[in-house]
Structure 1
Amino acid sequence: MGETEFVIVLTEHRNLGNVFQPYLIHKRDKFYSTEKLVKPFDINSVEYELKPHEKELVLLIEKYSDERLMKKFSRAKNVSEFFAQLDKSTFEKQVSPYIEQCMFEVARILMLSPVRLLNKEAKYANLYDEDEIRVPPLFIRPEFYFDRTKTETRYHLKIFIDNKEIPLLNRNVRIVTNNPCMLVSRNQLLVFEKLDGKKIVPFLSRQYVSIPRSIEEKYYAGFVKKTIRDFDVKVSGFKLIEGEGKKTAVLNLDKNLMLQPCFILQFRYDGEIFLPNNNRHVAVLFQKQNNEFVFKKIKRDAKWEKSVLATLTEAGLQDKNGYFEPAETELSEKNDPVYVFVNWLNKHKNSLKEKGIFVEQGALEKVYFTGEQRLDLKTKTTGDWFDVYATVTFGEFSFPFIKLKNNILNDIREFELPNGEVAIIPEEWFARYKNLMPFARSKGEKMRFEKHHYTLLQKVMLPGDNSFLQKLKRLADTQENIPLPENLNAHLRSYQETGYQWMAGLHKNGFGGCLADDMGLGKTLQTLALLLNYKRNGEATAFQDSFARKDQLSLFAAQSPAAENIQPASLIVLPTSLVHNWESEIQKFTPSFKIYKHVGQQRKTQAELENAVLYYDIILTTYGTVRNDVEAFSRLKFFYLILDESQYVKNPASKTYKAIGKLQSEYRMALTGTPIENSLSDLWAQMNFLNKGMLGNLAFFRRFFITPIEKHNNAEQQEKLQVLIRPFVLRRTKAEVARDLPPLMEQVVVCEMNEGQQRTYETEKSVIRNSILEGIEQDGIKSSAMIILQGLTRLRQLANHPKLLNNVEENQSGKFEEIIRMLENVIAEKHKVLVFSSFVKHLELIKSRIEKEKWKYSILTGQTTNRGEVIRQFQEDQENRIFLISLKAGGVGLNLTSADYVFIIDPWWNPAAENQAISRAHRIGQNKHVFVYRFITQGSIEEKIQQLQSRKSSLADKFINSNNPLQEITKEEILGLLK
Structure 2
Amino acid sequence: MFESLKRKHFSFDDYRVKDKIYFILKFENERSYIELRDSKGKKVDTDAVIATNEYDNSILQKINEIKEKDEFNINWDDEIENKSERLYLDNNSFLVDYLLKSESFINENKMKIELAEEEINLELIIEKVEEKFKAKINFNNNLDYKIISQTHLYSNGKIYLIKNIGDNYQQLKEFEVEIKDGYLNKFLSIFYSYFTNIKCQVEGFSIKKINSISLKPVIVFEKIDVDKYLHLKIGLNLDNYDFEFFKEFNIKKVVDINEKSKDIYIREVDYNKSVQAFDDLFKMLKKSKDKSEFFIDNDYIIMSNNFAKEFLQKKLHYLINHFELYGSEKLNEYKIKISKPKLTFGLSSSIDYFEGDMEINIEDETFSVVNFLKMYNKDKYIKLTDNSNVIIEKKFVDKLNRIFDEKKGEFNVSFYDLPVIEEMIETQQLKTVFSKEIEVYEGFNEIEKVDLNLKEVDAELRNYQEYGTKWLKYLYENRLGGCLADDMGLGKTLQAIALIKNIYTDKKKIVIVVPTSLIYNWENELKKFTPDLEYAIYYGNNRDFKVFEENKIFITTYGVLRNDIGRIKDIEFDTAILDESQNIKNINSQISKAVLLIKAENRFALSGTPIENHLGELFSLFRFLNPKMFGTVNNFNKKYIVPIQKEGNEDVSKELKKKIYPFILRRKKRDVLKELPEKVEQTLYVDMNTKQKKLYNERRIFFKEVLDKQIEREGVKKSQFFIFQALNELRRITSNPESFSENRITSSKRDLLMENLQDIVSNGRKALVFTNFLNVIEKIEEDLTKEGIKYLVITGATKKRQEIVNLFQNEEEYKVLIMTLKTGGVGLNLTAADSVFIFDPWWNVSAEQQAIDRAHRIGQDKTVFSYKIITKDSIEEKIELLQKKKRELIENIIEEDTMMSKSISESDLEYILGE
TM-score, normalization by structure 1: 0.38
Which protein has greater RCO, CA pairs closer than 8 Å, 6+ apart?
Answer: 2
TM-score, normalization by structure 2: 0.40
